[in-house]
Every structure is written in C-alpha cells, then in structure tokens.
Structure 1
Amino acid sequence: MTTQENFLEWVYVRRVIEASRLDVLDMLWPNGWEQLGPAEVQAVADALARRGGELPGALADSTSQRYEQDPARDAELATARGWRLVTPEDDEWPSELTASFVRMADSGADHDSSVRGQAAAPFALWVRGDTRLDALVRRSVTVVGTRAATRYGEQVTRSFAGDLADAGFSLISGGAIGIDAIAHRAALDSKMPTIVVMACGLDVSYPKAHGDLFEQIVAAGGMLISEYPPGTPPARHRFLTRNRLAAALGQATLVVEAPQRSGALNTLNWAEAFVKPTFAVPGPVTSHASLGCLDRIRTARATLAVSARDLIEELTPLGEQMVLGLGQEDRSFLPSWEHLAIIDAAALPSGKGPEGRLPQLVEATGLPARTVIRCLRDLEAMGRLRREADRWIRVE
C-alpha cells in the first residue's frame, strides 16, 4: 500500500486527475514512467494545488474546477471502509499492467481510431479486497460481452468461465448486467477470485442491482478496482476508459457475445493494442448478439474459441501443459493430481470396486463437477479411461 508519508498527496492527485494523462505521468516520473521508480508525487500535488511550477497549460485547464479538493475526506472514507490506493511505488502493483502500455506506446496502437478512451497508463488505483492485486492478475483472463445476453450466451459464458476458473484462472470483468455478471458468478461458483473493474467510484454500486454481487466477490477473496475517486458517477466515456484497464490486467481477453458496436469489442480493441491474445466465441449468424464476434473471427482479429481449453492451452506454459496432458496425444505424459484422483475413483475393468459414475467421482475426489468433467475428457483422450453408458472405467 502507498506509504503513509505520501498517502494524502497520492489521494489528492487521484482526486484531481480524471483517469490518467501523459503529462501527469511525465511529471510524476521525469525519467520515464515505464521504470516504475519512486514518483515525484509531492511536487505534482503542490503544482496542482498552487497552479504553479511546471504545470502544463492543458493540465491546468483540465483541473481548474477540481484543484481545490481536500484529500482528507477521501482518505478518511478509505480508512473507514478498508480501501487502499495502490500505485507503481507499491510491491503489489502488477508489472504487466505497465508493460501493456509500454507495448502499446511502442506500436503506436493508441492512435488507432478503434481504441477509444484515455490511453495513458494508470498511475493509481483504488482497491477494495484483501488479496494482493499482483497475485490476482498473475494468471487471469478478461471475459466480456453484451449486456443483452441471449440464452446461448449465458450458457456459453457459464461453461467457459467455470472451466477457466477450475483451471486456476481468476476472471476479470466489468460487473455489468449480462455476460459480465455471469462470468463473475461462475468464478464464485468455482471458488476462484474474480475482479470487477469499475467505471465509477468504489462507493457507487453500478448497476444498483449488483450491490450484493460485489459484496460476495470481495468476501470470496476477489476485488473491486477503480481509477475514479469516491462518489464519481458512471459515464459513457468512463466505461471506454475503464475498458483499457480490464484488457491490460488480463493475460488474454475473451468476448462471448457482442454486436457490431459494443463496449465488449472496445475492450477487445484494447487487448489487441496491448499485443495480448484475443479470443471470440462464434454464435448463430442470425443472432445480432454474435455479429461482432463473428466479424472478429472472420477478419482474424480474434482467435476462434469453442471451449475454455482453447484459452488454457494458449496461456499455459508448455512445461505445465506436459504435466497436465493438455493437447498431447502421447500417453506417456503423467496427469495432474486431479487426474490421478479421478483415475483412482473410476470403476475397475473387473466391475468390482467404485461405480465410476459422475456423482460418485465428485464425492470421492471432492473436486467441483466442472473440474471432474474436464479431467474425464482429458483422461479419455489420453486413453486412461473409457466410457460405458454413464460409467467411467479404467484402462489397464
């Protein structure tokens, strides 16, 4: 967490600056914001408050209605509610978050008209949740989609998100109605943490109907994140700017359902600009909700994904894939402990011993049903189990 000595200065700068700006980054880190070194936050706070020093004209204009804010109020609220302000000076700041913006700047993709929103790297994030931010995003996937999800979209999202969570990926999304909420709930069902990246202050429940969901996410070890100070209402431009954080935090971005014009595709645009893997789920050609996904697949701007396995194999290091037996036809590779537990619980060829049916496998291993099903598919493909009706039998 930001040190107490400069906490109020960081809170003040976070209150006065909307999202982020390159001129602010240059002032905070005169030797390059990419280095993640100590920031000149005291000097920046003084320049903003006194309207002097090296304050650029454009920055002075944009903060003319905000600079008289008292940071003590935000600091007191944060202390009372257990929030913290995480900055690049802190150990838990994800290095990949800054690296994403470095890659984008090097490629010039932030000038692409398809990427809309403030493109500068973040300099401070309000966080609610007890887990370290860097630990949560180290193995993560951003899952987004339309608010007007179809039944197909709901089913696919639950399947993908549940399997990704079972495979150890935390899920990142925007907390919105539709695909976002389904992904968050699937993570909760799989007992994996999930992250909500908000386009408003942490004290603003948007949508209001998801107030209980947000509480469940935090209680389950997940996190709420926002660049915006307390009390900031959601706005269209803030959603577009928020999307860049959702894409930058995840190892990859998956869009499940999205029409041709949608915030979900904007998030995919950011992931593309950050040179991160992008995936899209195909849908019916007659469905308006799938046209954006189909177009991204057709134009090769996103990889077609028909199951979570497509993402898992892409994002899992080769050595780990060999242990898990992912994508391998060589049956000599050793399965994981989950696979071994399921083999032990499967029926014997003699017909004696365990029944080998799914309910018994779940009970015997203590694993979530989704994990058992995924491992059963792996083991069948590896030739370690065979299926007879509803029973799974060991291959000796």
Structure 2
Amino acid sequence: MSELLIAMNLAYNTTIKARARYELAQQGPRCGLPAPCEAVRLWHALASAWLLQSDKRFWVGIHSPAYPQGLLALKDPPLILFGDGRLDLLTTRSIAIVGSRSATRTGLGNAQGFGKAFAQARWVVVSGLAEGIDGAAHAGALQAQGGTIAVLGCGPDEVYPKHHAALKRQIIEQGGLVLSEYPPGTAPQAGFFPRRNRIIAGLADALLVVEAAMRSGSLITARVASELGRPVGAIPGSIHSSQSKGCHDMIKKGALLTETAQELMEEAQACLPEFKHACVLQEDDSDCHTEMTCTMDTGALQDEELGRVLQCLGHDPVHTDTLAQQLGLGSEDTLAVLTELELLGLVLGESGNRWVRANGVF
C-alpha cells in the first residue's frame, strides 16, 4: 500500500469515527486501520492524478517531517494536507488576516494595506480566499511580491467563490501556496469553512481581524488563535458600523487594538517558535511600510472648495445631504466635489450615497 493511500485511509476512512482516527494517528504512521473503503480508494485515485499534473503540488500527512508544527497544537489537527505552491511557506513566519465577507470599502482597503505591509516585512499572509477581507489580504501580499497562503474550504482543485479563480491562480504563480485538508474533487460545503478556519489560526503566528460582526466566523478563528497562545489584533471602526461590533468586542476582551502593522509584527516576533526565527523569506525588513494612515495635504488642493469638503469629512460615513447642510452648499454641488475627491483618491463612496475619507492604505 502506498504512503499516500495509508495517509488518506487514516484521514478519510469513514468506517471509523473521527475521534478514533485521531487516537490511531498518535500510534504512528502504520497504525492498525482496516483496509481502505471504496470512497478512500476513489479519493486516492483522484489525488494521485491531481498530484502528477504539476511539480508544485504535494501532500503532507500528520507524521511527515514537513507537517506544520503549529497545527499539532489543535484539538483536531488535519490528518493530511494537499498543497499547490511553495511547501516551505508552511514553516515560514506568518500572520493571518480574516474578516467579513461583506466588507466596507474602508475594510477592504485596510485588509489590502496590512497584507501588503506584512508581506513587505517578509511575513507570509495567511487567509481563506473568501469574498471580502480574505481576498483583499491576499491581493495586498501579492502586490508586495510577498508570500501568501490561501486555506480552502474545498478540495485544492476547486475554488470558492468562483470569481476568485484568477486570484487563486495568481497566488500559485507568484510563489504562494493554496492549501486544503480535503482531497481533490471535493466541492465546497458550508460545514467545511468553519473547520478551514482552525487551520488558518494554527498556521499563523499572529492573527488580525479587520472587520467582523458580532456573529462572525472570524471571531471563532480569533478565539482558536487565542487559545493556541497566538497574539490576536483587531482594527477598530465606527461605533455606528455593524461590521465593527465584533472587533470592538474583541478589543474589550483583550485583543490588541491595532493601528499599524508594526504593532502586531512586534507581538508576533516576540512569540515566534525558535525554528521560525531563521525561516523568513528575506532577512531585510527595512523596506516595510508599517504606518497605515496618511496625512491629507489639503493645502495642495487647487480648489479651496475641495479642501473645505475634505476637512469636513471624517472616517465615519456621512450622507451627501448631511455634508451639504454642514457646509452650506447645495447637494448637487457637494456631490460634484465629492466625486472629484474620489477621482483624486482622497475619499471613498459607500452604499446609500454616503462618503468617508480614504484611509491611505493603497
């Protein structure tokens, strides 16, 4: 029996309960399992074919020397992992970025900006390739030509959401890694994503929540990371935004209120396991752009009216009509100024004809 079939039999043999398989795994790679069932043999055939299609593809079982040590601290570590991309990223220092699928433009900007800053400092960015914050975090890391790991809630040959297929391909082509505990041919299912989150928490040396509602899977990921002893940060937002409530609750309970990438990197560096101190993509961190805020030079604006509108606008969304009343301008004139400021990259338009200052993370 091949090593892959043995590992897949341990991970996927449904004739044995999951807890029993974890207990058997502790006995060693050749524990007393029954013969592979038909489903395991089918998955093995699909996995073998998938692995042969690219020299970037690999698998690691829980007994492999290449298995990520951080995952062993989980109560239910994945018994096998399939990867497409750089295997060495599994042992490189990393920070996870998670958050809402229904992110605001400010949240997306923060996720992309922090992802870029972490990658510039040679930290691998870990996330889940999901809509919203996850996708923006991966994009930021790629923009900095850095490493990023996308942990999937489906087989490594699948993608969810479908329109992230190009992003997934770019991650692999630019030297990142796509990772899954599910065998090739496994379609995404709702129950897979919460389990995917524990892998994100286990892989990373710290975790940042960008935006999260009170009932969010990101908060579960943060709780797992905290239980593992990883530093956990959260970005505060508007008191009026439902997407900030989860982050605010985390901060109240002890999460690091995170304003710059440097803050969380310092926390993570202090907690790094010994073997990761030498495992960085590059040693020079001097080019890290860690400050995530910028000062708007309103004096440089040619039109005094642009400066007035920008000065009046804050980081909480404001309706056009409300802003017009505050400035003593007509709604149409105010909207025209806001549109011009948006073209300059100084403000962002939110849903419902509301506006905020750009946060300068791009």
Using structure 1 for the length normalisation, give the TM-score: 0.65
Change (3 A) 1:77 1:156: closer
* 1:25 equivalenced with 2:18 (yes/no): no
* 1:72 equivalenced with 2:28 (yes/no): no
- Who is 1:316 aligned against? 269
Partners of 1:290 and 1:124 in 2: how far apart? 35
CA deviation profile, 1:115-136 (whole Å, cap 9, x unmatched): xxxx51211101111332433x
- Who is 1:166 aligned against? 120
Q: Which has the higher contact order (CA 8 A, sep 6+)?
A: 2
The alpha-carbon deviation at position 157 of structure 1 amounts to: 1.5
SS of the residue 1:316 aligns to:
helix
Partners of 1:214 and 1:69 in 2: how far apart? 26
Partners of 1:313 and 1:277 in 2: how far apart? 10
- Who is 1:324 aligned against? none
Partners of 1:45 and 1:243 in 2: how far apart? 30
The alpha-carbon deviation at position 274 of structure 1 amounts to: 1.6
Partners of 2:271 and 2:164 in 1: how far apart? 38
1:237-316 matches, cutoff 5 A: 237-300=191-254, 302-316=255-269
* Greater displacement, 4-13 / 138-147: 4-13
Change (3 A) 1:306 1:374: closer
Partners of 2:238 and 2:109 in 1: how far apart? 14
CA deviation profile, 1:323-363 (whole Å, cap 9, x unmatched): xxxxxxxxxxxxx9775xxxxxxxxxxxxxxxxxxxxxxxx
CA contact (8 A) 2:89 2:147 kept: no
Partners of 2:111 and 2:34 in 1: how far apart? 44
Identity %: 31
1:22-101 matches, cutoff 5 A: 22-30=19-27, 38-40=28-30, 43-46=32-35, 49=37, 66=39, 69=42, 71-82=44-55, 83-98=57-72, 100-101=73-74
Partners of 1:70 and 1:243 in 2: how far apart? 23
The alpha-carbon deviation at position 311 of structure 1 amounts to: 0.5
CA contact (8 A) 1:255 1:268 kept: yes
Q: Which amino acid aligns with 2:18?
A: R
The alpha-carbon deviation at position 308 of structure 1 amounts to: 0.7
Change (3 A) 1:156 1:133: closer
CA contact (8 A) 2:10 2:21 kept: no
The alpha-carbon deviation at position 244 of structure 1 amounts to: 0.4
The alpha-carbon deviation at position 271 of structure 1 amounts to: 0.9
1:142-181 matches, cutoff 5 A: 142-181=96-135
Aligned residues, how many?
Answer: 282
Using structure 2 for the length normalisation, give the TM-score: 0.71
- Who is 2:307 aligned against? none
Given candidates 178, 184, 190, the residue that maps to 1:236 is: 190
CA contact (8 A) 2:85 2:176 kept: yes
- Who is 1:52 aligned against? none
Q: Which amino acid aligns with 1:39?
A: P
The alpha-carbon deviation at position 317 of structure 1 amounts to: 4.2
The alpha-carbon deviation at position 219 of structure 1 amounts to: 0.9
Q: Which amino acid aligns with 1:290?
A: S
Partners of 2:43 and 2:285 in 1: how far apart? 54
* 1:128 equivalenced with 2:81 (yes/no): no
Partners of 1:249 and 1:338 in 2: how far apart? 21
The alpha-carbon deviation at position 14 of structure 1 amounts to: 3.6
Uncovered stretches (5+) of structure 1, i.e. residues with no partner: 31-37, 50-64, 102-118, 320-335, 340-366, 378-388, 391-396
CA deviation profile, 1:50-88 (whole Å, cap 9, x unmatched): xxxxxxxxxxxxxxx946746223212222244321113
Structure 1 segments of 4+ aligned residues over 6 angstroms from their partners: none
CA contact (8 A) 2:230 2:271 kept: no
Q: Which amino acid aligns with 1:132?
A: D
Change (3 A) 1:275 1:22: farther
Partners of 1:288 and 1:44 in 2: how far apart? 49
Uncovered stretches (5+) of structure 2, i.e. residues with no partner: 273-282, 294-298, 301-362
Change (3 A) 1:13 1:69: farther
Change (3 A) 1:74 1:145: same
CA deviation profile, 1:282-332 (whole Å, cap 9, x unmatched): 0000011111001111222x111111111012122499xxxxxxxxxxxxx
Change (3 A) 1:85 1:17: farther
The alpha-carbon deviation at position 177 of structure 1 amounts to: 1.1
Q: Which amino acid aligns with 2:26?
A: W
- Who is 1:221 aligned against? 175
SS of the residue 1:132 aligns to:
helix
CA contact (8 A) 2:112 2:138 kept: no
Partners of 1:164 and 1:70 in 2: how far apart? 36
